[in-house]
Amino acid sequence: MMPPLNLVTQLLHVLAAGLLMISFSMLAQRRTRRLIVLLAWQGVVLTASTLLVAVTAHLQHLYYSAALTLIEKVWLMPWILLRLMRRLGIEGDSDPLVNIPTLMLVGLGLVIFAFGLAQPISSLATTVTRQTLGIAMAVILLAFLMMIARHKAVTQVIGFLAMENGLFFAATSTTYGMPMVVELGIALDLLVGVFIFGIFFFQIREQFDSLDLHQLEALKED
């Protein structure tokens, strides 16, 4: 019925599925605080999958990037975001633009699209994790959807970070990760990005008394 897979591949598939599940719960989540927690969990799953690939493929540099993921995405980023939330005093619900069941249906469509798209590409790859490319693309698209469907600045940044998680997973699953220099660069970029976003949040709130990005669409009168 199906080809026998070894345990490592199966574990990787389970982790990939976990990543997808977390993406979907992020899509359905209303509370910003829970979103940040989910983002941290996504980082944990990402670390585990990277470590697993590193152990199976005996790749030195993947150990480093796993450690980097652990520090940056599980600890540092959520910590900064939670601090920002506390400083800005935003705790309440962030209502999505579209109602959640519709959003989930759109998300499901995106998943089908991503799986279809990945099918021919992954048949060309030779890594142990090639089948998870579809899931990685689905995670990226779902994060995109989350950014589009939310109208608070903080949740959009969380969507952005989730998208980066998806890209990172795509990189590890298809080509055993990017070169170390590139990865370090991206990690630093993200970190700086989050800092700049934090400054932006304060600026936006000072100008408009709200973090709702729809306020940015209106032109100032005077």
Distance set, CA 31 to CA 20, 107, 125, 190 (Å): 19, 19, 39, 23
Tell me the three state secondary structure of residue 144.
Answer: helix
Q: Which helix (H) or strand (E) holds 107?
A: helix 100-122
Of 99 and 126, nearer to other proteins (C-beta) is 99
- From the list 16-24, 60-68, 152-160, 166-174, the region that binds other proteins by CB under 8 A is 16-24
**Under the criterion CB under 8 A, does residue 16 sit at the interface with other proteins?**
yes
Residue at token pair 């693309």: 137
Q: Indicate whether 219 belongs to the interface with other proteins (CB under 8 A).
A: no
- Stretch touching other proteins by CB under 8 A, among 18-26, 39-47, 78-86, 176-184: 18-26
DSSP string for 43-97: HHHHHHHHHHHHHHHT-HHHHHHHHHHIIIIIIIHHHHHHHHHHHHT--SB---S
Q: Is 3 exposed, middle or buried (0-12, 13-18, 19+ CB in 10 A)?
A: exposed
CB atoms within 10 A of CB 30: 13
Interaction between residue 18 and other proteins (CB under 8 A): yes
13 binds other proteins (CB under 8 A): yes
Q: Which of residues 65-124 bind other proteins (CB under 8 A)?
A: 99-101, 104-105, 107-108, 111-112, 115, 118-119
Our CB check for other proteins shows the closer of 67 and 112 to be: 112
Compose the 148-187 pattern: x for residues touching other proteins by CB under 8 A, - for all others: ----------------------------------------
Stretch 120-149 residues interacting with other proteins (CB under 8 A): 131-132, 134-135
CA distance 164 to 156: 13
Binding site for other proteins (CB under 8 A): 1-2, 5, 7, 10-11, 13-14, 16-18, 20-21, 24, 28, 99-101, 104-105, 107-108, 111-112, 115, 118-119, 131-132, 134-135
